[in-house]
Amino acid sequence: MIAADRSGSGKTTVTTGILRELARTGQNVAPFKCGPDYIDTLHHSRAAGRPAHNLDTVMLSEDQVREVFRVGAFGADICVAEGVMGFFDGIRPDGFYGSSHHVASVIGMPVVLVMNCASTSYSVAATLRGFQVMSDVPVAGVILNNVASGNHEKLLKEAIRMHTDIPVLGCVPRQGELIGSRHLGIKTAFEVDNRYMDRCADLVCEYIDMNRLKELTVDVVPIEKDVQAQDKVCYVAYDKAFNFYYEANFYELQKRGYSIKKFSPLADERVDGADMVYLGGGYPELYAEELAKCTGFLRSVSDFSESGKPVLAECGGMMALTKGIHTESGFCEMAGIFDAECRMMDKRQALGYVCAFNNDYEGLVGHEFHYSKLENVNENYFFNLEKLTNKKLTQDGFLKGKTYGGYAHFHFMSDPTILDIIMERQHG
């Protein structure tokens, strides 16, 4: 696992570079990401040439996380996971529940820490000692990032050698921004070309000891996907506007007999012939004017919903099923399945894990992260949400027939699962 002392230390750049370098030297590398992040997994998938899986110990049980890891590892020569936030940053301090440390402990994988060394020197050794003492998984190496000079590198290495037994696997000098960012994080893999991936790999090759890194492995017994005969088709929206998905969710759909067919709402592709439609999150607000012109897609998904077949729309997907999206350019009409409107805001409206419940269901854990809000809502909310960290209560989600849309993203392996809630419901 490539983890870090804090967010912004450079672990995504390092992980992307490692994945790309392993792939371009002929390794079949399986990428993973701790936590609920979608954007990093898109970069990992593209860098490795193989789908990345999320390892999330909040939405899933420890056994389920192990299953996701073993399925994701099938056929790979080596597995590389990126941590989330700082190594111990989870939703509770007892056992650091939900953190990179928790995932590493569940899987039993060695950890390499990426340390942001800007504006510090000897104190890095104290930080490393603290991480080492508090961790019940081995801190097998450290990569020093944002190193200012040769002298700075010397000071860092001397302190680490003198006060720890952790090997330094690389020293990366301070870099300019390799990739742009926006309100939900770095730009998605749809918005960068292969030059970014190769620049990350070149950086890794020049400054990190890949041979020593590849020695830090543990044995795992992969398992092949156990899918059923697929006599149904789930159409999955997949383009620049909609691309936030958990890879394991596709696996769960396949286990339920669905084959996956990706389609592009931005190309005005219709959902005719589908047995289920899945509209994931993404950045529909950036393409709202284009989507408003895609009347074939909008009408077909509205007709599909009216037919009583299952539709699941998460965050950005839900926004596309409302009456429209208010952006700086004006109001852009959407499918109008839900009698509500979305408005983009300058400040983040929600971030974190939530527990969704109502009179019939409880204990459904999801994750939300969005900058838009709903207004002019003339629908009944389906779920109450309780934020896991501070117990704040909100409402989310609409259910019409078998069409569900809400801000929270859910994992299909959880218990209960949003799939059963939608599919068991009678149309009406």
> What does the buried/exposed string (b/e) look like for 30-61 if buried means 16 or more CB atoms within 10 Å of the residue's CB?
bbbbbbbbbbbbbbbbbbbebbbbbbbbbbbe
User: What confidence tens digit (pLDDT) does each residue in 319-376 have?
Assistant: 999 999 999 889 999 999 999 999 999 999 999 999 999 999 988 999 999 999 999 9
156-195 pLDDT, tens digit each = 999 999 999 999 999 999 886 654 443 444 555 566 677 8
- The owner of tokens 């300058």 is 346
Residue 97's SS3 state is: coil
The pLDDT of residue 97: 94
- Beta-carbon count within 10 A of 67 CB: 17
Angle at 358 between CA 355 and CA 363, to 5 degrees: 35
Tokens coding 287: 């393409």
- Side chain identity at 68, as an amino acid letter? V
Angle (deg, nearest 10), helices 150-163 and 123-134: 40
DSSP 188: P
> Could you give the CA distance from residue 220 to residue 56 in angstroms, rounded to a whole number?
18
| pLDDT of 428 over the 50 cut | no
pLDDT of residue 326: 96
Distance CA 183, CA 406 (A): 19
Give one DSSP letter per residue of 133-170, joined into a string. Answer: HH-SS-EEEEEEEEE-SHHHHHHHHHHHHHH--PPEEE
Question: Which ranges in the chain are annotated with CATH 3.40.50.300?
Answer: 2-214
User: What local confidence, expressed as pLDDT, does residue 219 receive?
Assistant: 78
Question: Could you tell me the CATH superfamily of domain 2-214?
Answer: P-loop containing nucleotide triphosphate hydrolases (3.40.50.300)
Domain 232-424: state its class: alpha beta
- Residues 143, 146, 149, CA angle at the centre, nearest 5°? 105
| Per-residue pLDDT tens over the stretch 34-92 | 999 988 999 999 999 999 999 999 999 999 999 999 999 999 999 999 999 999 999 99
Tell me what pLDDT residue 244 has: 95
In 10 A of CB 108, how many CB atoms?
13
The region that residue 422 occupies, defined by phi over 0 for left and psi between -120 and 50 for alpha, beta otherwise, is alpha
pLDDT, tens only, 186-235: 555 566 677 889 999 999 999 999 999 999 877 788 888 877 788 999 99
Share of the chain above pLDDT 90, in %: 85
pLDDT for 194: 75
CATH 3.40.50.880 domain position(s) in the chain: 232-424
Label residue 406 by pLDDT band (50, 70, 90). very high
Q: Is 315 a catalytic residue?
A: yes
What is the full DSSP assignment across 354-389? EEEE-SS---EEEEEEESEEEES--S---EEEEETT
Q: Are 386 and 408 in contact (CB under 8 A)?
A: no
Strand order in the sheet with 232-237: 258-263, 232-237, 276-279, 311-314, 403-406, 398-400
Selecting among 34, 79, 234, 315, the annotated active-site residue is 315
Q: What does pTM read for this prediction?
A: 0.92
